[in-house]
Homo-oligomer: A and B are copies of this chain.
Amino acid sequence: MRDNLQVLKSSAVFDSVDAAHIDAMLCCLGARTQTFDRNDYVLRAGDSPESLGLLLDGGVLVVQEDFWGNRNIRGRITPGQVFAETFACVPGAVMDVSVVADESSVVLWLGVQRILRTCPAACAHHSRMIRNLLSELAQNNLRANEKLTHLSCRSTREKLLSYLSAEARRQGGAEFAIPFDRQQLADYLSVERSAMSAELSRMQREGLLSTRKNVFCLRPASPGAARK
């Protein structure tokens, strides 16, 4: 719990905010922490959160669920990242997604309206935080765009390649770990788990990639690879 300050200092929303002032800011933002066990709901679809969540420890999934338990995973939040900021920034916005703890997690709630409503000149750091928040929203937009790119692919194979290429690019190498197990990956890409599993097998047989558990390694295209 002592390294929470470390997480805060490295978090994008507190970027360029003097560490010495963070305590004062937290008080000003009405910050409070909350802990969750695995599979606990952090926020439910239908909520209108007034605070954004900053994950201090653990991991949470942003998911959309229908009545029959079908779920689409929007993304996974890791410590230092924020979530629900979009809904917290639009007063009255109703969440159409839920946030579920994927493991034991600690969340710091920040009353974003206290940043936005009061005059930014009141506190020198407010203006900085608003710009950080804006940057965070833009990043979130980019992530959503990326996911839209994956989902607009027509076939399971294309979706996999689109996602895996993006992940390789993001992590800067052909070998990388993904934050999902197979079922979660299928829910993220909106495909059938079994069909995806079969497709991954085919792709491995063709030499496009190799995978052990959640570690993938993309291979450069080999001209003599067998099709199908």
Contact A152 B64, CB 8 Å, known A130-B131, A131-B130, A141-B137: yes
Contacts of A133 in B (CB 8 A): 134
Contacts of A149 in B (CB 8 A): 64, 72, 96
A114 CB → nearest B CB, Å: 13
Give A146 to B145 CA distance when docked, in angstroms: 12
Q: Judging by beta carbons under 8 Å apart, are B89 and A135 in contact?
A: yes
Q: Judging by beta carbons under 8 Å apart, are B190 and A154 in contact?
A: yes
Instruction: Please name the 5 residue pairs, one residue from A and one from B, whose CB atoms are nearest each other, closest first.
Output: A144-B144, A72-B152, A137-B137, A86-B141, A151-B151
A-B contact pairs, 20 of them (CB 8 A): A64-B148, A74-B145, A89-B134, A89-B135, A89-B138, A90-B135, A93-B138, A93-B142, A96-B149, A119-B127, A120-B120, A121-B127, A130-B131, A140-B141, A141-B144, A147-B148, A148-B151, A151-B151, A151-B190, A154-B190
Binding site for B on A (CB under 8 A): 64, 72, 74, 85-86, 89-90, 93, 96-97, 116, 119-121, 127, 130-131, 133-135, 137-142, 144-149, 151-154, 190
